[in-house]
């Protein structure tokens, strides 16, 4: 079971993730608006389609001033094979471990078989982090077929930016 779920308006956790091509992603330390899509991994065909949509919409996110990233628990080889097969151009982090998944508050699943994958993996999640490093929008799912529509998300982000819309869902 996952740890406490992320609280909107709280600081995005300071975790370091290796990036394909070198370097590391520390989303909490980046400037500006940033979007992190957590996906299940290469074994998930729904993830491939979702990230394909993200790739198609990436120019719109960038025009809105949103830096886009994705991450999974896949090891480097599987993540690289995914990028090669799918042609994604956004920065892709890999090797998300169980402790990092718990820190993010995502749902975690064990593999159903060795053919699926060889490690526990994160279920889908989306984090929009604002320039102050706080979680502006969070969406967590425990299944691959329940995730936010990326076109609607982009429209919502544009609304947030145009209207100085506050973080919602902060009453605990």
Please report, for the domain that includes residue 77, its CATH number: 3.40.30.10
Assigned domain for 4 exists: no
Assigned domain for 84 exists: yes
Assigned domain for 12 exists: no
Domain count, the chain: 1
The residue assigned the tokens 């899509």 is 37
Using one digit for the tens of pLDDT, what is the confidence trace for 100-159? 999 999 999 998 888 778 899 999 999 999 999 999 999 999 999 999 999 999 999 999
Q: Which range of residues forms the domain containing residue 81?
A: 17-163
CA distance 113 to 121: 13
CA distance 169 to 172: 8
Q: The pTM is what?
A: 0.95
Instruction: Provide φ and ψ at 9, rounded to 5°.
Output: 90, -10
CA distance 117 to 124: 16
Assigned domain for 104 exists: yes
DSSP sequence for 60-119: HHHHTTEEEEEE-S--HHHHHHHHHHH---S-EE----HHHHHHHT--EE--SSTTT-SS
**How high is the pLDDT of residue 2?**
44
Assigned domain for 1 exists: no
Assigned domain for 101 exists: yes
Assigned domain for 108 exists: yes
* Cβ contact 92:102 at 8 Å: no
Assigned domain for 170 exists: no
């Amino acid at each position: 079971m996952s740890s406490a779920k992320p609280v909107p308006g709280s600081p995005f956790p300071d975790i370091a993730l290796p990036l394909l091509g070198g370097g590391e992603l520390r989303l909490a330390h980046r400037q500006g608006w940033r979007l992190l899509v957590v996906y299940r991994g290469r074994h998930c065909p729904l993830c491939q389609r979702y990230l394909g949509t993200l790739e198609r919409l990436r120019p719109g996110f960038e025009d809105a001033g949103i830096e886009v990233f994705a991450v999974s628990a896949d090891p480097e080889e599987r993540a690289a094979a995914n990028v090669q097969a799918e042609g994604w151009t956004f920065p892709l982090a890999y090797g998300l471990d169980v402790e990092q998944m718990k820190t993010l508050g995502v749902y975690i699943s064990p593999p159903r078989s060795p053919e699926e994958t060889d490690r526990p993996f994160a279920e889908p999640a989306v984090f929009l982090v604002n320039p102050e490093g706080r979680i502006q929008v969070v969406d967590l799912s425990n299944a691959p077929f329940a995730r936010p529509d990326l076109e609607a998300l982009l429209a919502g982000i544009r609304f947030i930016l145009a209207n100085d819309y506050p973080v919602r869902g902060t009453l605990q």
